[in-house]
Amino acid sequence: MTELLVFEWRRLRSLRATWVLVGLVVGFALLADLAVGLGNLNQPVDAEGVAFQVVQRDLLIRWLVAAAIGAQAFGHDFRYGTIRPTLLAFPRRGQLLAGKVLAASLLSAAAALAASAVSIALVLALTTWDASLFADPRLWRSIALGTVTTGLVAALAVGLAAVARGSGLPVVLIVLWAGVVEPLTVVGLGGGAAPLLPFLSLVQLTAYAPVSQDLGAPGPLAWVVFPLSLAATLATARLVLPKRDATTS
Between 43 and 82, CB nearer to other proteins: 82
Q: Does 246 help bind other proteins (rule: CB under 8 A)?
A: yes
Question: Cβ of residue 2: shortest distance to other proteins, in angstroms?
Answer: 9
Q: Which of 111, 82, 106, 100 is nearest to 19 (CA)?
A: 111
Q: Please report, as a single letter, which amino acid is at residue 166.
A: G
The answer to whether 109 and 25 have CB atoms below 8 angstroms apart is no
Site string for other proteins, 135-174 (x = CB under 8 A): ----------------------------------------
Q: Does 6 bind other proteins (CB under 8 A)?
A: yes
66-95: contacts with other proteins (CB under 8 A): 76, 80-82, 84-85, 87-92
Q: How far is the CB of 95 from other proteins (least distance, A)?
A: 10
Enumerate the β-bridge partners of residue 44.
Answer: 128
The alpha helices in the chain, defined as continuous H runs, are 2-13, 16-39, 47-54, 59-80, 83-89, 93-126, 137-164, 168-176, 182-189, 198-206, 222-240
Burial class (CB in 10 A: 0-12, 13-18, 19+), 64: buried
When asked if residue 15 is in the footprint of other proteins (CB under 8 A), the reply is: yes
Question: Among residues 10 and 138, whose Cβ is nearest to other proteins?
Answer: 10
Single out the segment in contact with other proteins by CB under 8 A; choices: 7-15, 21-29, 62-70, 110-118.
7-15
Q: Give the three-class secondary structure for 128.
A: strand
- Among 170, 70, 66, 54, smallest CA distance to 122 is for 54
Is the CB of residue 150 less than 8 Å from the CB of residue 69?
A: no
Interface with other proteins, residue 7, by CB under 8 A: yes
Please state, as a whole number, how many other Cβ atoms lie within 10 Å of the Cβ of residue 175: 15
What minimum distance in Å lies between the beta carbon of 97 and other proteins?
14
Residue 1 or 38: the one with the smaller Cβ distance to other proteins is 1
Nearer to other proteins (CB atom), residue 15 or residue 221: 15
Q: Which is nearer to other proteins, 85 or 190 (CB)?
A: 85
Based on the shown chain and the rule CB under 8 A, indicate whether residue 10 belongs to the binding site for other proteins. yes
Report the alpha-carbon distance of residue 71 to residue 178 in Å, rounded.
Answer: 16
Q: Quick one: 62 or 165, whose CB is closer to other proteins?
A: 165
> By the criterion CB under 8 A, which residues form the site for other proteins?
3-4, 6-7, 9-11, 14-16, 76, 80-82, 84-85, 87-92, 243-247
